[in-house]
Amino acid sequence: MFYVYICSMVQRKKYIEIVKHLSKKEFTILIGARQIGKSTLLKQLFEDLNQKGETVYFLNLDRKEILDELDESPENLFKICPLQTDKKIIVFIDEIQYLKDATTFVKLLFDEYSDRLKIVATGSSAFYIDKQFNDSLVGRKKIFQMGTLDFEEFLIFKGRNDLVEEVLKLKNKKKQKSIQENVLWAFMDEFVNYGGYPAVVLENDIAQKIELLKDIRDSFIKRDILESGITDETKFYRMLMLLASQSGNLLNVNEISNTLRMTNATVENYLYVLQKCFHITLVKPFYNNLRKELTKMPKVYINDLGLRNVLINYFSPLEQRADKGMVLENLCFRLLFERFDQDQVKYWRTADGNEVDFVVETSYLKGFAVEVKFGEQEVKSSKYNKFIQNYPDFPLEFWWWKKMELLF
C-alpha cells in the first residue's frame, strides 16, 4: 500500500509529455516494460482530468468481461463509455495488448470517431511485437516509450528533491562543488546496483530489493515469453543471462548460436522479442568508411542495471566489482539513451582495433563522442588520435566514475 501511495503522489517526466499530447487528434500510446509505472501514470492522468470535469473512463483489460466485449467489436466500447454530443470523451485503456487485434481496434475507432473520442492506452511487450503495428497506424497514433526511473526520478522517489536541486545548480554551473557530493555518489551506487524499477527503488531493505528483482526476472519476463509465443523458456533465459554478462560487447549471432546450441533464426527471434519487450537495446556502429571501419555488428546493453545484475546474480558496491568497467559503460549508455533518440547513439570501431564507446550524432555528421574509463588515471587521449583527426566535428569526451557530468 505504501508503494502505491508514493507512486500515486510522484509524477514521472513522461506525464508532462502525455498531458501536452492530450489535445492532439492522434491517439496516445504509452509503451514500456512491465512494472515500470505505466498503469500508475495512466491512473494519475485519469484522476487529474476527472477532477477537472472532463468526461473520462478507465478500462483495465485484465477484466475478462470488458476484454470479451471489446474483442467482439471495437464499437462495443460505447456500451461502456457512451459518446457525448457536446464534447470529446477520453478513454484510458490499460494493457491494450490483451485485445485479440489491438491494431484494428485502434484503426477503426480513430477513423470513425476521432472527432468525439480520444484514446490513451498503455501496452507492454506483445502489443508492440506486432510487426504491422507501426505501418498500419501511421498518422493515427503517437507512441511514447517510458523506461525505468532515470537517476533524477530515482532521487525524487527517494524523497531527495534537495539533491535534484543540487544537481541542477551544478549543471547550470551556479555551483562548482557540492558538499552533498558523497551522498549523491552513494545514491548513484545504489542506482547502478539495483536499477530503476519503482518498487525496487522504494524498498529500503537490500534483501527485499533483490527479491523484487528476482520476481521481475522470474514472473514478469516469463509473461513476456508466453505472450510472444516462445516455447523454450530455458533457452530464452540462458540467452538473456549471456547477454547480461556481456553487456557492452559486440553482438555476434553466430557465436551465441554456437555457445547455446540454437539456430541463428532462434537467436534472432529471441533478440527481437527482448527488444520489443524493452529489456535490451542494440547500439549500431557509426562509420563513414565501410571498408576500414570494420563491423556491422551492434553492441548490446541491458536497459535496467538492476535487471542486469539479478540476471547474473551479482550485487556489490561498484568500486569493488570485477565487472565495474562493464557496469559503468552500461550506465553511460543508459544516460545517453535518456537524453537522445536511439538512432542518435552509436559506437565506432575499426578493423585495426581502434574503438570509441559512444558516438552521438546530434545533427547531420555533427555531435560528440564519449569514451568510458573507470578512473581518470586510465584516460590516455593519444590512443584516440585517429578518431579525433578523422572526426573533428565529434569532439571526444572522457567519462569516468564520480565525474560530475555523469549526474546530469
CA–CA separation, 128 and 110 (whole Å): 18
* C-alpha distances out from residue 391 to 10, 196, 278, 383, Å: 43, 35, 32, 14
As to burial, measured by CB atoms within 10 angstroms (0-12 exposed, 13-18 middle, 19+ buried), residue 65 is exposed
Which of these, 250, 360, 247, lies nearest to 294 by C-alpha position?
A: 250
Q: Does pLDDT of 1 surpass 60?
A: no
pLDDT digits (tens, 9 = 90+) for 16-70: 999 999 999 999 999 999 999 999 999 999 999 999 999 999 999 989 999 999 9
Average pLDDT over residues 371-379: 94
pLDDT of residue 28: 95
Residues 263-282 have a mean pLDDT of 94
pLDDT in tens, 152-187: 999 999 999 999 998 888 877 766 777 888 999 999
Phi-psi label, residue 65: left if phi above 0, alpha if psi -120 to 50, beta otherwise: alpha
Alpha carbon 119 to its chain centroid, in Å, reads 23
- For 351, counting Cβ atoms within 10 Å of its Cβ (0-12 exposed, 13-18 middle, 19+ buried), the class is exposed
- Separation between Cα atoms, residue 357 and residue 326, nearest integer Å: 11
Instruction: With CA atoms as reference, report the closest residue to 305 among 276, 277, 327.
Output: 327
pLDDT tens for 228-239 read 889 999 999 999
One-letter amino acid at 283 equals V
Query: What is the reported pLDDT for 2?
Result: 41
Residue 295 has pLDDT above 80, yes or no: no
The conformation of residue 297, written as its DSSP 8-state character, comes to P
Q: What average pLDDT is seen over the chain?
A: 91
Report how far residue 71's alpha carbon sits from residue 77's, in angstroms, rounded to the nearest whole number: 10
Sheet order of strands, 366-372 included: 345-349, 355-363, 366-372, 396-399
- pLDDT greater at residue 315 or residue 174: 315
In the predicted model, what is the mean pLDDT of residues 96-100?
89
pLDDT(377) > 80: yes
Quote the pLDDT of residue 296: 81
Alpha-carbon distances, residue 238 vs 235, 242, 262, 270, 298 (angstroms): 5, 6, 11, 11, 20
List the domains of the chain with CATH numbers: 2-145 (3.40.50.300), 152-407 (no CATH)
How large is the average pLDDT for residues 96-115?
92
Q: What is the pLDDT of residue 147?
A: 94
- Its pTM stands at 0.91
